[in-house]
Amino acid sequence: MLYPAGPSGSEISALQRPFDQECGLIDALPGSGLTSRLSQITAAPADRRTFLKAVTFPCLAACAAAWLHNSFVLPLEAAAAADDDSRFRVEARFYEKLPGKNVRCKLCPRGCVVGDRDRGHCRVRENRGGTYYSLVHSRVCAAHIDPIEKKPFFHFHPGVLAFSIATAGCNVNCKFCQNWEISQARPEELPATYLPPAAVAASARQNQCPAVAFTYSEPTVFNEFVTDAADAARAQGLKSVVVSNGFIQQEPLKKLCQHVDAIKVDLKSFSPSYYRDVVNGELQPVLDTLVTIHKQGRWNEIVYLVVPTLNDGDKEFRDLARWIKSNLGSEVPIHFTRFHPLYLLKNLPPTPVETLERAKAIADAEGLQYVYVGNVPGHPAENTYCPKCHRLIIERAGFTVAQMHMRKGKCEYCEHVIPGVWGA
């Protein structure tokens, strides 16, 4: 039985095929002997020619490999019966026991109080006799090989492939969710495969992915699996990245930062009412998350999905840019990405490109240095320009890195330090 894998809400692109055509196969689990390309991206190049060979060609090869891996298909078992879940069940790491066999989850700001045999809002955590469990450890319902640019990360090992996985569940309910089939499902409603942490790392290596990405649904709700699999990946010399809505409590977030290498946060709006009405979440905890990631020194990029008429005002863009500059500094990359009508917001049009350009112009004017336009393949604002000499230093075509003019994390032309995790 097969189940389609696909991109997360911020990963829409005209280059992508529709969700129901995009399947992946873990066609060979551990042991093929293929070598991670991470060593290639961490080796310091001796000169420009060597550097371009070491970076640009692997980038292109990675994207070609990603394209070839469109035949990648995850073999999934039929949905398990509700109680036949012992392989996937681990005790939750962030909760407290309450009187009367109740529990309070302390993983995300929702703070669900859950009675015996009930589940939290995210549908993947259950109270059994006063002990709280995650039901989705190693329970992978989607897997795919993506370029890291698709997450998107633009300043984190450009051009590498990420072995990208998800379980069921999410702690919010975005009306525009691209992956609602998995994010809004109970785990037993979906086919899944058992992929424990060591197998995640081995599969990533086997498929020539220097990174593992936790994505598509919401990694906060499968936190235990994320941290265990990230540890296994690190032991194999692989990186781990998380694509999250940022709606997580501070204690699990600080722990998460110790296990993974980069976190991309979908900041869905700068308006509390949008978070309440469109996301069914809260803005302030997400802002707190961004500050904590920054203080913890994890690499962070921000995506802002611009939805016509709902979060596309000049004032909102300006307030957002000012907040980022004051609280995170001017160097955090922000991607203003294009909305496409989906799920419960099919009544709205795709975001006009001019709106994304207006958002970028406002953020640029407020002093943010790395402002991108997303989901518009070929747009010049998908490239990286040196903020000092203004030369093109990373040229992208869709999710492909076409050219890089950087050396050891610096602009090749003026040696300005470009923030990010470059590996060389």
Q: Where does this chain bind ligand SF4 (CB under 6 A)?
A: 105, 107-108, 110-112, 120-122, 125, 171, 221
The residue number with the shortest CB distance to ligand SF4 is 120
Nearest to ligand SF4 of 107, 293 (CB atom): 107
Residue 122 CB, shortest distance to ligand SF4, in Å, is: 3
Min dist CB 197 to ligand SF4, Å, is 20
User: In terms of CB distance, is 105 or 368 closer to ligand SF4?
Assistant: 105
Shortest Cβ distance from residue 111 to ligand SF4 (Å)?
A: 5
Question: What angle in degrees, to the nearest 10, is found between the helix axes of 353-365 and 314-327?
Answer: 40
Q: Which is nearer to ligand SF4, 105 or 371 (CB)?
A: 105
Return the amino acid letter for 62: A
Minimal distance, residue 260 CB to ligand SF4, in Å: 17
Query: 293: which 2 tokens?
Result: 């990631």
Strand partners, 161: 147
How far apart are the C-alpha atoms of 328 and 300, rounded to whole Å? 10
* Bond into 152 cis (ω within 30): yes
Is the CB of 110 or the CB of 360 nearer to ligand SF4?
Answer: 110
Of the pair 27, 85, the CB lying nearest ligand SF4 is at: 85
- Find all residues with CB under 8 Å of 133, minimum gap 6, and list them: 89, 90, 91, 92, 125, 126, 127
Token pair for residue 64? 């070609």
Minimum Å distance from CB 4 to ligand SF4?
A: 25
Contacts of 128 (CB under 8 A, 6+ apart): 116, 117
CB of 298 to ligand SF4, least distance (A): 20
Report d(CA 19, CA 190) in Å as an integer: 16
338-373 per-residue burial string, b: 16 or more CB within 10 A, e: under 16: bbbebbebeebebbeeebbbbbbebbeebebbbbbb
Cβ 50 vs Cβ 64: under 8 Å: no
CB of 302 to ligand SF4, least distance (A): 22
CB 277 within 8 A of CB 173: no
Q: In what helix (H) or strand (E) does residue 227 lie, and over which residues does it extend?
A: helix 223-235
Nearer to ligand SF4, 218 or 412 (CB): 218
Q: How far apart are CA 124 and CA 169, in angstroms?
A: 6
Cβ atoms of residues 324 and 334 within 8 Å: yes
The smaller minimum CB distance to ligand SF4, of residues 221 and 302, is found at: 221
Q: What distance in Å separates the CA atoms of residue 188 and residue 80, rounded to the nearest whole number? A: 5
Nearer to ligand SF4, 38 or 122 (CB): 122
Minimum separation from the CB atom of position 227 to ligand SF4 (A): 14
By beta-carbon proximity to ligand SF4, the closer residue of 263 and 381 is 263
Show the CA angle centred on residue 395, arms to residues 392 and 399, nearest 5°: 155
Shortest reach from residue 252's CB to ligand SF4, in Å: 9
